[in-house]
A and B are shown apart, each in its own frame.
Chain A
């Protein structure tokens, strides 16, 4: 598999993301935000974490107008798979490729810690190597991770199986971490080819460093 990893001014998780996919046996290529096209024959685009454009105005609001995002939008609209992690998730919601928006955490703090997540839906190209109801241990690190969607939007996400992950305790019961609507940590689009989550699976690759659950999550894209 060939993975394109985007890079904006302020991105800082691109090398970890490359490392993760290379560890899984895939080839990766960094793509600069000014590029107007994506590399040929790619199987996945990853919009990695960081602080694109210093999070000015709103997190992800400026990056989403980068030339490369036009190519990503076309790629996604043709059914190509796109994964946004943390700032990448914010960029994809700002771009309208994913529903909802990410606001400032309710406690106004930057939250950086290992967090349990409950898999809500595995019937998709991302979490198919995980079990529904399974609890994963993945680091989070964000100030603007408070997922918001209105009631009608939430019902729609639930009905269409678009909620991927919720912040939970070790038994899978939802917990309030940042104020997200129903503790949502990750969602996908209706066509289930665009995925976004605030937690960082690329930081959970070694049991020695706390968790290797991230490997299994990212392995979902293997097929």
Chain B
């Protein structure tokens, strides 16, 4: 199975890269941009074939290493 993990700074934690990209989009005259947030995507290929087990395993990976939950949130998609 493949797990797609998205890691973003939490709401309320200033995202300086998102802010810089937002500013650049404004400068390029892209109107109506309300907010830009930049995160990272981590794609993990797993041997596990049970979706629920894969999810549990990846959640553990996020809590341990992939995200710093002091400043970051994560989402997991299993395919």
A and B associate in one complex: yes
Distance of A149 Cα from B12 Cα, bound (Å): 11
Residues of chain B within 8 A of A62, CB atoms compared: 65
Q: Is the interface of B mostly helix, strand, loop or mixed?
A: mixed
Size class of the contact patch on chain A: 10 to 19
Closest to A99 in B: B70
Main secondary structure of the interface of A (DSSP, over half): loop
Q: Specify which of B13, B14, B65, B68 lies most central, judged by the most chain A CB atoms within 10 Å of its CB.
A: B68
A100 to chain B: which residues have CB within 8 Å? 70
A179-B71 in contact given A57-B66, A108-B20 (Cβ < 8 Å): no
Contacts of A32 in B (CB 8 A): none
Whether A61 pairs with B14 at a CB distance below 8 angstroms is: no
| A-B contact list, 28 entries, CB within 8 Å | A57-B65, A57-B66, A58-B68, A61-B68, A62-B65, A65-B65, A93-B70, A94-B68, A100-B70, A101-B68, A101-B70, A101-B71, A103-B9, A103-B13, A103-B71, A104-B16, A105-B16, A106-B14, A106-B16, A107-B16, A108-B16, A108-B17, A108-B20, A146-B16, A148-B13, A148-B71, A179-B14, A179-B16
Point out residues on A near B: beta carbons under 8 Å.
57-58, 61-62, 65, 93-94, 100-101, 103-108, 146, 148-149, 179
Q: A103-B16, A103-B71, A179-B16 are in contact. List 7 more A-B contacts (CB 8 A).
A: A57-B66, A65-B65, A100-B70, A103-B9, A105-B16, A107-B16, A149-B70
